[in-house]
Amino acid sequence: MIVSVQHKPTKLGKFTYLFNINYALSKTLDFSNDDQLTNNNTDERVNLIEGTSGLAKEKGYASSDERHRLTLFGQLQMPWNFAFSPIYTFGSGVPADTLVPALNSRLPILSRNAIGRGIKNSEQLNTVIAQWNALTACPAPTPCKGQDVSCVPGGINFFSPFSSLDFRLTKDIRLGELMRLSLIGEAFNIFNFTNVRGFSKNSYSGRSIAIGPDFYTAQSVAGGFFGAGGARAFQFAARFNF
């Protein structure tokens, strides 16, 4: 669902302003075909033996599922051919998967990318880990009694939003009737918000997903080019139109 509100240019004394508000509500699911078939994958054998198998487990949240996306944009035309344009972008956190190193797969009794969706915090995840550790019919080489999966640190909320406020200031200089020089200054992520994000569908959350003491710690942040939510940055440019 996409909602957009646009305010047309309006004069206020010597100033002219406009703004746009855009909001998107979305839900993105992922599907792994034949996830429940007995092709000797560890998590599938566990699912079958423990009675947790089912076609419903083949579908889960996509690693890029971003439930809420809000963008605010405005422009203020000022005297002496100055223009100021701010843009604010907010996105709710994307989900993360789990990884049990001994299994080389996600925690079998959890659906795909459940962290940040069905599992909201580390306390809820530790409850599921305790349920897994209580199982007795574990097929080798999965962790059984004496080799239980360790809990993750407490007090972690699986919420990792994206937030960035960017500015642009331009000054137009008329050079006759046909030529114009524009001086441009831009600033990105003004408040230097740390946007934890990955760069592939397997780790788009940018978080450690191996269950253990470092679970959900940041591994990578957004950035790589201006305007992508990376560390605070500035750039200056000149544009000549003729």
Predicted structure pTM score: 0.79
Of the candidates 242, 205, 19, the one whose C-alpha atom is nearest the C-alpha of residue 117 is 205
> pLDDT under 70 in the chain at which residues?
32-58, 136-147, 201-202, 225-227
CA–CA gap between residue 208 and residue 161 (Å, rounded): 16
| SS3 call for 1 | coil
The answer to whether 113 touches 59, Cβ cutoff 8 Å, is: no
Place of tokens 């972008």: 89
* Cα four-point dihedral sign 138, 142, 144, 148: negative
Q: What is the pLDDT of residues 56-67, one digit of tens each?
A: 666 788 888 999
User: How high is the pLDDT of residue 111?
Assistant: 81
Query: Which two structure tokens, joined as six digits, stand for 162?
Result: 């994206």
User: How high is the pLDDT of residue 112?
Assistant: 82
DSSP state of 87: E
Q: What is the CA radius of gyration of the chain?
A: 25
DSSP H or E run through 125: helix 122-134
End-to-end CA distance of the chain: 42
Q: What is the pLDDT of residues 19-77, one digit of tens each?
A: 999 999 999 887 765 554 445 555 555 555 445 555 566 678 888 899 999 999 999 99
CA–CA gap between residue 182 and residue 173 (Å, rounded): 6
Query: Which two structure tokens, joined as six digits, stand for 198?
Result: 């990955």
User: How high is the pLDDT of residue 67?
Assistant: 92
The answer to whether 93 touches 116, Cβ cutoff 8 Å, is: yes
User: How high is the pLDDT of residue 138?
Assistant: 55
User: How high is the pLDDT of residue 54?
Assistant: 56
